[in-house]
């Protein structure tokens, strides 16, 4: 799990996220945009893969965790079952985090969360990448999370490398 000791809202100087920010185009694209960031693909490519994996091209649709898992698997990543936590300190190193949960509608939206461990020269910090085009630019890539609505408990899907991709990477060294 991620360390509880983090920096303030400012990201470290000269920090470049390992992923590019992908902006959601439609209301249900937040999950797909998070997958696109993690897979280092375009949103269009992830949408096309989602259609191949069963997401309807037209009509009612929702990107459930099962679809997130199918998509991430295509790119060498594994999604956990949805988990619940009551503090940021309980989050793993990489996750798709549900924020701004609406009790009446029973859903929220997703952002990408990552934790970076500290070194001798750099304190540990976390990163939030928010795909919503409605989020102010200064809060789209940040370690601040005060602007996000998090309940007393909130949910996330942990994202880890697929075991076969880790083994293949080690063999290649």
**Residue whose pair of structure tokens reads 């701004």 in the numeric block:** 100
65: left (phi over 0), alpha (psi -120 to 50) or beta: alpha
pLDDT digits (tens, 9 = 90+) for 88-147: 889 999 999 999 887 787 788 999 999 998 888 888 999 999 999 999 999 999 998 888
C-alpha 31: how far from chain center: 8
Can you give the pLDDT at residue 20?
Answer: 97
pTM: 0.87
Ordered structural domains, the chain, with CATH: 29-172 (3.90.70)
The pLDDT confidence band at residue 7, using thresholds 50, 70 and 90, is very low
Query: How far apart are alpha carbons 41 and 102 in whole angstroms?
Result: 29
**Tokens representing 164?**
């076969």
- State the Cα–Cα distance between residues 34 and 137, nearest whole angstrom: 17
Say what the pLDDT of residue 172 is.
60
Backbone conformation region of residue 172, classed left if phi is above 0, alpha if psi is from -120 to 50, else beta: alpha
Residues 5, 123: Cα–Cα separation, whole Å: 8
Q: What angle do CA 15, 84, 76 make, to 5 degrees?
A: 55
CA 2 → CA 73, 82, 95, 113, 115, distances in Å? 23, 17, 11, 11, 6
């Amino acid at each position: 799990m991620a360390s509880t000791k983090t920096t303030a809202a400012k990201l470290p100087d000269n920090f470049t996220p390992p992923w590019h920010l992908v902006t959601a185009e439609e209301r249900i694209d937040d999950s797909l945009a998070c997958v696109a960031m993690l897979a280092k693909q375009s949103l269009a490519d992830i949408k096309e893969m989602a259609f191949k994996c069963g997401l309807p091209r037209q009509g009612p649709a929702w990107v459930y965790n099962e679809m997130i898992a199918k998509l991430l698997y295509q790119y060498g990543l594994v999604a956990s079952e949805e988990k619940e936590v009551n503090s940021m300190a309980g989050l793993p190193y990489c996750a798709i985090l549900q924020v701004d949960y609406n009790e009446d509608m029973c859903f929220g939206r997703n952002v990408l969360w990552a934790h970076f461990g500290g070194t001798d020269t750099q304190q540990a910090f976390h990163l939030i990448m928010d795909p919503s085009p409605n989020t102010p630019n200064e809060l789209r890539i940040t370690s601040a999370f005060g602007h996000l609505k998090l309940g007393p408990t909130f949910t996330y899907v942990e994202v880890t490398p697929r075991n076969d991709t880790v083994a293949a990477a080690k063999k290649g060294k």
